[in-house]
């Protein structure tokens, strides 16, 4: 669904300003490459928070806090 919306938006941009649409098409892979480290950082931070949550809730689970 997002791909279809992206394509429709690009077609609309192409009709309004074709040089800008072509520039966006050429720059999209570079923007994706620049966003990769940020995605990896987000995954790492999420994993660290999940580990902290698991360590903090371990005594509750061992003592039978959850049915």
pLDDT tens digits along 6-35: 899 999 999 999 999 999 889 999 999 999
Helix/strand/coil for 67: coil
Tokens, residue 52: 């902290």
pLDDT of the residue at 59: 85
* Stated pTM of the model: 0.58
Query: Residue 38 above 90 pLDDT?
Result: yes
């Amino acid at each position: 669904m997002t791909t279809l919306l992206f394509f429709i938006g690009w077609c609309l941009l192409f009709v309004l300003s074709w040089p800008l649409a072509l520039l966006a098409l050429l720059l999209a892979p570079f923007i994706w490459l620049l966003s990769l480290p940020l995605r990896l950082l987000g995954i790492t931070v999420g994993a660290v928070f999940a580990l902290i949550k698991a360590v903090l809730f371990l005594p509750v689970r061992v003592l039978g806090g959850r049915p």
